[in-house]
Amino acid sequence: MAAEPNQGKTLEAEVDGVRYLRIPIRTRLVGPDDDIVDVVTGFADALLEEGDVLFITEKIVGITQGRAYPVDSIAARPLAVRLSRYVTRTPSGIGLGLPQTMEMALRECGTPRILLAAAVAAVTKPFGRRGDFYRVAGAKARGIDGPTSGTIPPYNSQVVLAPDRPGQVAAQLRDALGKPVDVLIVDINDFGGNVLGSTMTRANNRLMERVLKDNPLGQGHESTPMGIIRKAF
Q: What is the pLDDT of residue 188?
A: 84
Q: Are β-strands 182-189 and 53-57 bridged in parallel, bridged antiparallel, or unpaired?
A: parallel
Which residue ranges make up each domain of the chain?
Answer: 12-67+163-231, 70-160
Give the per-residue pLDDT at 45. Answer: 96
How many beta carbons lie within 10 A of that of residue 29, not counting itself?
12
Q: Please, what are the averages of pLDDT over each run of 10 residues along the chain (233 residues)? A: 66 94 93 96 96 96 96 97 82 79 96 95 88 89 86 90 96 97 89 88 96 80 86 86
How confident is the model at residue 217, as a pLDDT? 84
* Whole-angstrom distance, CA of residue 216 vs CA of residue 169: 22
What is the model's pLDDT at position 92? 56
Cα–Cα distances in angstroms (integers) from residue 120 to residues 69, 104, 111, 124, 126, in the given order = 29, 20, 14, 6, 11
pTM: 0.89
Question: 12-67+163-231: which CATH architecture?
Answer: 2-Layer Sandwich (3.30)
Burial of 41 (0-12, 13-18, 19+ CB in 10 A): middle
Q: Output the pLDDT for position 93.
A: 62
